[in-house]
Amino acid sequence: MWRPLTVLLAKASGRPLALCDVGDFDGVGSAAVFLRARPDGAVVLAAPSEVKKRWVRLVTWDFVADLPCPGKAKVRADHHRTNSPCAEREYYDAEAPCAAILAVRAMGLEGDPIAESIAAIAVETDTANIRTEEARLLDAAVRAASYGEKLYIANILAREGLNALKDDKLMGLAQRGLKISEVVMDVASKVDVSEAVVLYSPRRLPIPYRQLAIELERRGAALVLILVKRGYRTYRLYCGARRETNYDCTKVAVALGGGGHKYAAGAQYKSPFYRPGEGLDRFLSVARAAAPPGTPIYVLRDDYAVQKEGELG
Ligand SMILES: [Mn+2]
């Protein structure tokens, strides 16, 4: 579905309109909480980098969750330190473990067992501290889902809460997601984890790099820096830092034009057209400032082989 059309149709029929993060369960769960409160509502999912787009800025959004300000917002639920508050009514708390918990308050759904069960899952997934089977399955399902499938998940969660896990389509997505996790585990197991891990992926592979960063942290890295070359001169940074350490991913991401949290942040940037390799050099100089000297640099190959290719000086 072409997203501006969703907006036009919702506006034409007077339905309330939400804009939520497309990237993970927190965004999709926040959308589900919105739909729980407003079953007549329409949801648009977008990435933080898309919020600056003109068609997004032109709209007055009734509800925004887990995203920076799109311009005009009536109610917003968010917990990102780098996003400044902007809506008429803000449910903004940089200390909150996830946006969905703030969405429950914003929608006046405290005490609603379905809304609260969705938020409880988002607490687990957004803090990379998954303990329940339900959170494991829903996290996997969202990771494997296409745009339309994410809307499907938001809708079925809004209606049925965790009972949605009895749905065949949702379970199929969860199984697909778990399969992807196996590949991530395999790659992580090939890295000899030290205090900090720097990994360069010269080609964008169909794996969730953010999840790879989380897995490397789980295996003992205090700081994980992953750079993915996504095209001729486009680069994407993923940064993960363990909470109890002094590493700050916000600094790393901001240095490359991005943003996020202290413990999870990212950036996407381009090299000059005639010097496409400069993106890697920029990354390495930022990595040198953030990680201890001698940190090994790994390269992830197309066949998921991992090779050590030098160290940070
Ligand atoms: Mn979040």
- Residues 65-108 pLDDT 10s: 999 999 899 999 999 988 888 899 999 999 999 999 999 999 99
Q: Considering only residues 48 and 167, tell me which one the structure prediction assigns the higher pLDDT.
A: 167
Whether 184 is covered by a domain: the verdict is: no
Same domain, 204 and 157: no
Residues 125 and 174 in one domain: yes
pLDDT of residue 313: 85
Q: Judge whether 123 and 97 are in contact, CB under 8 Å.
A: yes
Domain span holding position 215: 190-311
Q: Give the total number of structural domains in the chain.
A: 2
In a domain, 53, yes or no: yes
Q: Within 13 A of 143's CA, how many CA atoms are on the CB side?
A: 25
Pair 152, 54 in one domain: yes
Helix axes 147-160, 25-37, angle to 10 degrees: 50
Does residue 252 share a domain with residue 122?
Answer: no
Q: What is the mean pLDDT of residues 174-203?
A: 96
101 C-alpha to ligand 1 centroid (Å)? 10
Amino acid making up residue 9: L
Q: Does one domain contain both 23 and 150? A: yes
CA 109 to ligand 1 centroid distance, Å: 19
Ligand 1 centroid to Cα of residue 140, in Å, is 16
Residue 7: CATH number of its domain? 3.90.1640
Does position 168 have pLDDT exceeding 80, yes or no?
Answer: yes
Do 70 and 148 fall within a single domain?
yes
132 and 66 within one domain: yes
Kindly indicate the confidence band of residue 209, based on its pLDDT and cuts at 50, 70 and 90.
Answer: very high
For residue 307, report the distance from its CA to the centre of ligand 1, in Å: 32
Q: 227 and 235 in contact (C-beta within 8 Å)? A: yes
Q: Which of 149, 178, 207 is the endpoint of a domain?
A: 178
105 Cα to the center of ligand 1, angstroms: 15
**CA atoms 127, 129, 132, 135: torsion sign:** positive
Residues 196 and 165 in one domain: no
Domain boundary among 178, 201, 222: 178
Residue 207 domain flag: yes
Q: How far is the CA of 240 from the centre of ligand 1 (A)?
A: 14
Instruction: Assess if residue 183 is contained within a domain.
Output: no
Question: What is the predicted pLDDT for the residue at 167?
Answer: 98
Same domain, 87 and 110: yes
CATH number, domain of 228, equals 3.10.310
CA 56 to centroid of ligand 1, rounded, Å: 20
Question: Is 158 in the same domain as 114?
Answer: yes
Q: For 19-34, what is the mean pLDDT?
A: 97
CA dist 165 and 177 (Å) reads 14
| 134 domain residue, yes or no | yes
CB distance 283 to 253 below 8 Å = no
pLDDT at 147: 96
Answer yes or no: is 7 within a domain: yes
pLDDT at position 241 over 90: yes
In angstroms, what CA-CA distances link 155 with 3, 16, 127, 159, 266? 17, 15, 23, 6, 29
Q: Is residue 232 part of a domain?
A: yes
pLDDT top residue among 12 and 208: 12
In angstroms and rounded to an integer, the radius of gyration of the C-alpha atoms of the chain is 19
Q: Provide the pLDDT for residue 128.
A: 80
What is the per-residue pLDDT for 67? 96
Token pair of 156 as six digits = 């079925």
When pLDDT is averaged across residues 234-242 and rounded to a whole number, the result is 97
Q: Do 267 and 156 fall into the same domain?
A: no
pTM of whole model > 0.85?
no
Is the pLDDT score of 206 beyond 70? yes
Mean of pLDDT over the chain: 95
What separation in Å is there between the alpha carbon of 260 and the centre of ligand 1?
10
Domain boundary among 146, 178, 210: 178
Same domain, 174 and 287: no
What is the reported pLDDT for 1?
Answer: 66
